[in-house]
Amino acid sequence: MLEMRIPSHQLRDLLKLYFIMGSQNTDKDPRFVLEEAIQGGITLFQFREKGEGAKTGGEKEELARSLMQLCRNHGIPFIVNDDIDLAIAIDADGVHVGQDDEDVAAVRERIGDKILGVSAHTLKEVEEAIEDGADYLGIGPIFPTGTKPDAKKPQGDTLIRAVRKEKIDIPIVGIGGITAENASFVIQSGADGISLISAISQAASPKESSKQLLERIMVPLAQNK
């Protein structure tokens, strides 16, 4: 459990390879997928049990607790998507909310110093999220994605570059359609990391996929420093 707001430099390191998954994102046991992804080098995990076929109630909490224990065993922070009540109940390390979820300032009030990530799609949303207490921003979709049916139109690296041009120094993770082939592009645009679902959750080997993704971003990350 965090006892103070996480420093930006530490969060930047954690955002490098940010894996997001719920049971609906894989045909395998999500525990197996997460364990493999951890072995492959992921640095942060978000539990996103949302959409068609997602678990609810006690089943959702049970899965969350088991995945969180896996993360705790390996020192990986565990973030809950949107469900603030669940995050508080299980003492998760943080939450991530979108523009259509609970008010960011209200979420910050509820979770105290835990990690707070916010999805942003415009400079105005970026500025408001920072003012309301966001620790990092999820910006995208960078590329087309089939994982989220309600995803907005892909915007490429336009917003990431705009944020950096404005000298806004908040940690940023890019999201949406990211693969090993295009991962370095996201980092070169100014992001501190990449977040993805299917490139790992649906991979034949989540471990090997995670390793490959991490390898692809290490050189541009070093160049950004």
The verdict on whether residue 148 carries a ligand-binding annotation is: yes
Q: Any binding-site annotation on 119?
A: yes
The answer to whether 43 is a known ligand-binding residue is no
Is 73 annotated to bind a ligand? Reply is no
Whether 197 has a binding-site annotation, put simply, is yes
Q: What is the CA radius of gyration of the chain?
A: 16
Q: Which residues are catalytic?
A: 48, 119, 148
Annotated binding residue 198: yes
- Give the whole-angstrom CA distance, residue 48 versus residue 20: 6
Look at residue 44 and give its three-state secondary structure.
Answer: strand
Annotate 167-179 with b (16+ C-beta within 10 A) or e (fewer).
Answer: eeebbbbbbbbbe
The response to whether 179 counts as a known ligand-binding position is no
Reference 72, options 173, 1, 136, 14; nearest CA is 1
The C-alpha atoms of residue 176 and residue 190 are separated, in whole angstroms, by 16
**158 labelled binding-site residue:** no
* Binding-site entries for Mg(2+): 82, 101
* Binding-site entries: 46-50, 81-82, 101, 119, 145-148, 177, 197-198
